[in-house]
């Protein structure tokens, strides 16, 4: 998707970044036709993808101390620990601190929509 949104080089070669990446199955939970429509609208797709990325490396120990984060699309997400789970907006963090060449990935159970 990042290639279709014109972000492949930005996300692969720049950084460091922290990515709150939706688990693969979360895309299936989106309303029918959403993914197909986004693939036809690169500007909206880019905005949504950049809403999952923040500049800098924030490992799990750092994330739990935050109340919000500025995202690469100019928006802000809310971060909270609720009943022992870390929430990014309404998504729950499932896996943390997945190392990437240019940062870190935290897997979430939803797609963040700005």
| Residue 67: per-residue pLDDT | 98
- Range 91-104 average pLDDT: 94
Number of domains making up the chain: 1
Q: What is the CATH number of the domain that holds 57?
A: 2.30.180.10
| Residue 65: per-residue pLDDT | 96
In a domain, 55, yes or no: yes
User: Is there a cis peptide before residue 47, judged by omega within 30 degrees of 0?
Assistant: no
In a domain, 2, yes or no: no
pLDDT one-digit tens code per residue, 7-22: 555 666 677 999 999 9
Q: Which structure tokens are listed for 19? A: 């990515």
In a domain, 3, yes or no: no
| Residue 5: per-residue pLDDT | 44
Q: Is 46 helix (H, G, I), strand (E, B) or coil?
A: helix
In a domain, 60, yes or no: yes
Residue numbers of the domain that contains 22: 8-108
In a domain, 114, yes or no: no
Look at residue 2 and tell me whether its pLDDT is greater than 50: no
| Residue 101: per-residue pLDDT | 84
pLDDT one-digit tens code per residue, 43-90: 898 899 899 999 999 999 999 999 999 999 999 999 999 999 999 999
| Residue 7: per-residue pLDDT | 56
In a domain, 98, yes or no: yes
In a domain, 113, yes or no: no
Q: Which residues pair with 77 in a beta bridge?
A: 69
In a domain, 67, yes or no: yes
């Amino acid at each position: 998707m990042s290639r279709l949104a014109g972000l492949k080089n930005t996300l692969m070669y720049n950084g460091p970044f922290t990515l709150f990446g939706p688990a693969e199955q979360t895309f299936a939970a989106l309303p029918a036709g959403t993914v197909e429509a986004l693939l036809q609208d690169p500007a909206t797709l880019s905005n949504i993808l950049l809403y999952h990325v923040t500049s800098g490396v924030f490992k799990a120990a750092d994330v739990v101390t935050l109340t919000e984060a500025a995202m690469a699309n100019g928006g802000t997400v809310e971060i909270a620990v609720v009943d022992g789970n870390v929430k990014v907006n309404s998504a729950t963090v499932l896996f943390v601190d997945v190392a990437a060449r240019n940062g870190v990935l935290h897997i979430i159970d939803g797609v963040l929509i700005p």
